[in-house]
Copies of this chain bind each other. A is one copy, B any other.
Amino acid sequence: MGSRELKKAGLKATLPRIKILEILGSNDVRHMSAEDVYKALLESGDDVGVATVYRVLTQFEAAGLISRHHFEGGHSVFEMNEGEHHDHILCVKCGRVDEFLDETIEKRQHALAKERGYAMTDHSLYIYGVCAACQKEQ
């Protein structure tokens, strides 16, 4: 279980934290909202409060265990940090999410920031469109 990771991240290994780490780790669904995580906890019979879910997700993010995205529609979406940084392409019809990493774009971003005198710290890029499957159906 995730007690190891938690301690390594300087976090007490509590039941809610272990469970949430498990849920995000099960590569069942990679991108989950706080609500999704909360529901998954309830379904697996674990009684964790919403407040705790939000607190833990924020802590995990601060600890670098997960990252937070802002997909169109407002609320935050989280995913386990494993593998490289990447950006997202989303289907506006069915909500499907694909990931990609493009060196050309990554480099251009840094160059653009530099040109304008900024010390770049981060970026977020989302491409929206209609996925192959959704294009077919009518």
- Residue numbers of A with Cβ under 8 A of B are 70, 72, 74, 89, 91-92, 98, 100, 102, 104-105, 108-109, 112-113, 116-132, 135
Distance between Cα atoms of A120 and B89 in the complex (Å): 9
Q: Name the distance in Å between A35's Cβ and chain B's nearest Cβ.
A: 15
- Copies, count: 2
In the assembled complex, the CB of A110 is this many whole angstroms from the nearest CB of chain B, namely 9
Whether A116 contacts B92 by the Cβ 8 Å rule is no
A113 and B88 CA atoms in complex are apart in Å by 10
Contact status of A129 and B124, CB under 8 A, knowing A74-B74, A108-B104, A112-B100: no
Contact of A118 among B72, B104, B129 (CB under 8 A): B129
**Would you call B118 and A109 a contact (CB within 8 A)?**
no
